[in-house]
Amino acid sequence: MADPSTDQFTAVAEVYDDLMSVVPYRWWVDYVERLWRERSFWPRRVLDLACGTGNVLLELQRRGYAAEGTDFSAAMLAVAARKLRPGTPLWLQDARSLALPGPPFDACVCLFDSLNYLLEVDELRQAFAGVARHLAPGGLFLFDMNAIRALETGMFDQSGCGSDDSLEYEWRSAWEPTTRLCTISMEFRRHAAEGTQVFYETHRQRGYTLGEVRDNLEAAGFEVLAIYDAFTTRPPTARTDRFHCLARCARQP
Ligand SMILES: C[S@@+](CC[C@H](N)C(=O)[O-])C[C@H]1O[C@@H](n2cnc3c(N)ncnc32)[C@H](O)[C@@H]1O
């Protein structure tokens, strides 16, 4: 197993929602529901795997789902807990070894390239197997991933500000083609009346081929229903930067 970095999603948790203020989470959940409804699928209990600060969970709850979240960053979950309905189940767990209490879920979502943070094929398969263990037979699993193209063409080379001038960031990425690992060095400057706080995180993502994704889903007990160019119902192309994958739990009751 790859060494789990301790400097991912720690300090960044408190500024994450500011950084994501432009992300249309409501529209993302519209897309999730569209893919469910196209298959006449009406889940009630939904698991948000790697839920981070809970933005998808919040939107699922608003729409009446019984939604629970899990993530391995205590700092991200602490932010989520402040925003979500009191008592929302939030589980501090590693996606590679999921063991949640309670009955199986009808559906699982895992959005915003969270699965790219699993750096070995075996880890991806462990996460898929964990989701399969927690889904009811026939349950749907929808996730997105950064495509290799996005990681190798420097998608993470970014600098900018948060929603106001109080936060600045500078990210630089390095791509290693043989391992397909992308290392992103992040520097943040947070300006406040007391002075400027500078902090750093190093994130690592792996790029997976569609074949690896399919094979490992099937090995974990899923039927792959579709892989789409992100936020569409068209197949991925050579220019796809992000894809969504929809799979059905084929496990027998
Ligand atoms: C880019 S954030 C996405 C968060 C959230 N899904 C969203 O849409 O805003 C990636 C999340 O994956 C989580 N993560 C990364 N590796 C994980 C692992 N092995 N197990 C559980 N969560 C993990 C991080 O802690 C982080 O919250």
- Ligand 1 close to Cβ of residue 127 (< 6 A): no
Measured between alpha carbons, how far is 224 from 238 in angstroms, rounded to an integer?
20
H or E stretch covering 131: helix 121-134
55, 110, 114: which to mutate for ligand 1, most atoms within 8 A of CB? Answer: 114
Q: Is 73 in the pocket of ligand 1 (CB under 6 A)?
A: yes
- Asked whether the beta carbons of 245 and 145 are under 8 A apart, the reply is yes
Q: Which CATH architecture has domain 150-205?
A: Single Sheet (2.20)
- Residues 172, 177, 182, 183, CA torsion sign: negative
Distance 141 CA to ligand 1 centre (A): 16
Instruction: Identify the CA nearest to 108 among candidates 91, 87, 121, 123.
Output: 91
In CATH terms, the superfamily for domain 11-148+207-249 is Vaccinia Virus protein VP39 (3.40.50.150)
Between the CA of 51 and the centroid of ligand 1 the distance, in Å, is: 6
CA-CA distance, 186 to 49, in Å (whole number)? 24
Beta bridge partners of 161: 168
11-148+207-249 shares its CATH topology with 150-205: no
Q: What is the pLDDT along the chain (253 residues), one digit of tens a residue?
A: 233 344 789 999 999 999 999 999 999 999 999 999 999 999 999 999 999 999 999 999 999 999 999 999 999 999 999 999 999 999 999 999 999 999 999 999 999 999 999 999 999 999 999 999 999 999 999 999 999 999 999 999 999 888 888 999 999 999 999 999 999 999 999 999 999 999 999 999 999 999 999 999 999 999 999 999 999 999 999 999 999 999 999 977 6
With a 6 Å cutoff on the Cβ, whether 55 touches ligand 1 is yes
Task: State the distance from the centre of ligand 1 to the C-alpha of 52, rounded, in angstroms.
Answer: 5
Q: What are the extents of the domains in the chain?
A: 11-148+207-249, 150-205
Rounded to two decimals, the pTM is 0.96
- Give the CA radius of gyration of the chain: 18
Is there an atom of ligand 1 within 6 Å of 117 CB?
A: yes
Q: What is the pLDDT of residue 78?
A: 98
